[in-house]
Amino acid sequence: MPSNPSVDFDAIVIGAGFAGMAMVHRLNRDGFSVQGFETGADVGGTWYWNRYPGARCDVPSLQYSYQFSEELQQEWEWSEHYAPQPEILRYANHVAERFDLRRFFRFNTAVTLAEFDEANGHWKITAADGSVTRAHYLITAVGCLSAANTPDIPGLNTFAGQLVHTGHWPDEGVAMEGKRVGVIGTGSSAVQAIPIIAEEAEHLTVFQRTATYTVPAHNRPLAPEEAQEVKRDYKGFREFCSSKPGAYGMLPNMQSALEVSDAERQQIYEKAWQAGGIPFSGSFYDITYDLKANDTAQAFFHGKIREIVKNPETARKLLPKHRFGVKRLCVDTNYYETFNRANVALVDLTEEPIERITEAGIRTTAATYELDILVLATGFDALTGPLLRIDIRGAGGTRLRDVWAHGAETYLGVSVAGFPNMFILSGPGSPSVLTNMVVSIEQHVGWVADCLHYLRAQGLQRIEADAAAQQAWGEELVAMVAGSIIATGNSWYTGANIPGKPRRFMVHVDYPGYVKRCAEVAADGYRGFKLAGG
């Protein structure tokens, strides 16, 4: 039962991914009534939708998992160092069953409209099926990379073959055998899918606009002794990881790439390459800040690509030209090696742009490529997209779409001025995508739940970001990345991948500093928020 009889529930949670599941679990445990909504047919979020071949996490499994239950983390057994998508989805299902979470969600039910009812001080939620639900609090758990980007390429709808997006992969899979397949895109999703598709399809053509930086995962089965070692003191392991940048449990090499000899630098890069995965970014502390240091990282990749890819012309096309660190580093298994296969071709769209998609395939300025299947690995309208595809209207009917017309503004990445009693999990302005997401999700879930307890205990009915605090937060985000390579380039971090989207770096880059700030804000009576009684 909600504490206020004028609403159906204390809180509404949108999304049944890792954030939504943790949120409903916590609210229910703490005595708040909650209703969840989910567009998909079941739990899992990212891991529900991204079923493309080769999909796998690039954060180690022992870290990419919930820590709210010691029994859960002790009993669940991961089979690989980096878990594949089916295993992560099994884990999500296990969590849903173990904690009986499905009962809180209405599946196959997209929320289309969320309106703050000023007179009654609560949220009115309308779903695609026309149903209306009222709750005191609105908590969005819609994910950061869940609004798939389908590029506006002329003729896309005329393609007669099968058209699929990696972010909306069909449940039943896509039969590639004997087929001519085209993949547009070479980001994280594509580098995982391409090697598997190449093995299955008769022929694969990769349409590349920006050559990517990708490091080998060197994935491996997870040795039982390794898991046991962590489980002996899982709490200590979690604390250690959370105290490091992005909660990834690693520290960058605090040497400059420029203070070592060429031979030593090569050796350090090589060691990081052999170790594999995201930690490569920390080979030297300055490769994403200092342009000369950054040049050395690019040179290392160019050397690797030329070494692996046998055809010099293909290797040339695969050399990244943008700076290392502008876009998220990809992690692969046999990506560059795949271009040595006889059934794989690479088309450089900077040399021959797509003119249009036809019934038969893709026509570039230089040639026509006939295809049976076209895979769009074209990414997402990141961070703001998942929120703005819902029509969210705050106090006075103000639309979030209008408020964010020039870029997302939040306080702590959790709250927006003018949108009372609304909380965003992993929102723009929080560390989200630059962290081990499960860890930062749980931090947000805990912080929001604690906040609701505080409001209840104080007899407060309303909370929202103060406009001045929000502005200061935005300025702080900008100042934090001033001079860094990540904030200046064309990437989904800045909105540059979506035509017409306002350009603004949307992520807080200091986790765990962010956690400390959130705790201080709470301890200081929710400094920077406007609170009001009943």
The binding site for ligand NAP (CB under 6 A) comprises 56-58, 145, 151, 153, 166, 184-190, 192, 209-210, 328, 331, 349, 377-380, 433, 492, 497
Residue facing ligand NAP at closest CB distance: 187
Q: Are 98 and 235 in contact (CB under 8 A)?
A: no
Distance of CA 267 to the CA centre of its chain: 32
Q: Nearest approach, Cβ of 341 to ligand NAP (angstroms)?
A: 20
The residue type of 286 is D
Cα separation of 145 and 493, whole Å? 11
Q: Nearest approach, Cβ of 467 to ligand NAP (angstroms)?
A: 31
Q: Nearest approach, Cβ of 153 to ligand NAP (angstroms)?
A: 6
Cα separation of 273 and 335, whole Å? 14
Q: Nearest approach, Cβ of 375 to ligand NAP (angstroms)?
A: 11
Q: Which is nearer to ligand NAP, 420 or 428 (CB)?
A: 428
Q: Which is nearer to ligand NAP, 127 or 206 (CB)?
A: 206
Q: Which is nearer to ligand NAP, 120 or 150 (CB)?
A: 150
* Residues in a beta bridge with 440: none
Q: Nearest approach, Cβ of 95 to ligand NAP (angstroms)?
A: 19
H or E stretch covering 250: none
Q: Nearest approach, Cβ of 498 to ligand NAP (angstroms)?
A: 9
Residue 50 Cα distances to 168, 493, 496, angstroms: 6, 20, 22
Q: Which is nearer to ligand NAP, 233 or 351 (CB)?
A: 351
Block residue for tokens 């069953």: 97
Q: Which is nearer to ligand NAP, 156 or 268 (CB)?
A: 156
Q: Which is nearer to ligand NAP, 197 or 331 (CB)?
A: 331
Q: Nearest approach, Cβ of 44 to ligand NAP (angstroms)?
A: 14
Q: Which is nearer to ligand NAP, 37 or 52 (CB)?
A: 52
Cα separation of 456 and 421, whole Å? 13
Q: 511 — alpha (psi -120 to 50), left (phi > 0) or beta? A: beta
Q: Which is nearer to ligand NAP, 366 or 468 (CB)?
A: 366
Q: Nearest approach, Cβ of 113 to ligand NAP (angstroms)?
A: 28
Q: Nearest approach, Cβ of 402 to ligand NAP (angstroms)?
A: 26
The secondary structure of residue 512, as a DSSP letter, is T
Cα separation of 338 and 343, whole Å? 9
Pairing of strands 529-533, 460-465: antiparallel
CA torsion, ordered 266, 269, 271, 273, to nearest 10 deg? -130
Q: Nearest approach, Cβ of 503 to ligand NAP (angstroms)?
A: 14
Return phi, psi of residue 426, to 5°: 55, 40
Q: Are 204 and 197 in contact (CB under 8 A)?
A: yes
Block residue for tokens 């209405």: 106
* Residues in a beta bridge with 221: 80
Q: Which is nearer to ligand NAP, 140 or 378 (CB)?
A: 378
- Closest by Cα among 241, 485, 279 to 268: 279
Cα separation of 418 and 279, whole Å? 40
Q: Which is nearer to ligand NAP, 35 or 338 (CB)?
A: 338
- Dmax (CA) for the chain in angstroms is 71
Q: Which is nearer to ligand NAP, 144 or 424 (CB)?
A: 144
Cα separation of 153 and 325, whole Å? 28
Strands of 211-308 (E only): list them: 214-216
What one-character-per-residue DSSP string does 42-88 give? SS-THHHH---TT-B-SS-TTTSS--S-HHHHHH---SBSS-BHHHH
Q: Nearest approach, Cβ of 207 to ligand NAP (angstroms)?
A: 6
Strands of 367-443 (E only): list them: 368-370, 373-376, 391-393, 422-424
Q: Which is nearer to ligand NAP, 416 or 438 (CB)?
A: 438
Q: Nearest approach, Cβ of 197 to ligand NAP (angstroms)?
A: 14
